[in-house]
Amino acid sequence: GFDSGKDGFIDLMELKMMMEKLGAPQTHLGLKSMIREVDEDYDGKLSFREFLLIFHRAAAGELQEESGLMALARLSEIDVSTEGVRGAREFFEAKAQALSVRSKFEEELREEQEEKKRMEEDREQRRAAFKELQSTFCS
């Protein structure tokens, strides 16, 4: 999931994935400055509390328009003032959940496609072998 480390924090890599999934990929520097903007304890990652800060700051108009945090706040479509902390926590956890589910799903899909391709290739080989066999009889 976003919190793939399952430690209740979102680190740089997890934030990177999150922003990509939200359709607003950030540069490494952009991600770092996003974290720095709300990283109160300077541990280089976002706790749930710090994650909430993003939305409070967005609501209070304290975020730079072009900052990644603004994009995150807008794309997450979560309104802390109406949904409150509970809504945000559910969002935080649901997002983490959804990411891990989705990547599992994508993995299964890929395996399925590879399996299909293998079967196609097997079939092709059998067909070729059969043709060869036929030609030895028919020549």
- Run of H or E residues at 46: strand 46-47
The first and second tokens of residue 92, run together, are: 């935080």
Model confidence over 67-114: pLDDT tens digits? 899 998 888 876 666 656 666 777 777 777 766 666 777 788 888 999
Q: What is the DSSP letter of 9?
A: E
Instruction: Give the 3-state secondary structure of residue 34.
Output: helix
Residue 37 confidence (pLDDT): 92
- The answer, yes or no, to whether residue 131 has pLDDT greater than 80, is yes
pLDDT at 82: 60
d(CA 73, CA 58): 7
Question: Which pLDDT value is given to residue 64?
Answer: 86
Q: Among the CATH numbers 1.10.238.10, 1.20.59.10, 3.40.190.10, 1.10.10.10, which is that of 12-76?
A: 1.10.238.10
Q: Determine the Cα–Cα distance for residues 133 and 128; give it in Å rounded to an integer.
A: 9
Residue boundaries of the structural domains of the chain: 12-76, 79-138
Q: What are phi and psi of 66, to 5 degrees?
A: -95, 5
What tokens were used for 108? 């299964």
d(CA 8, CA 10): 7
CA 137 to chain centre: 57
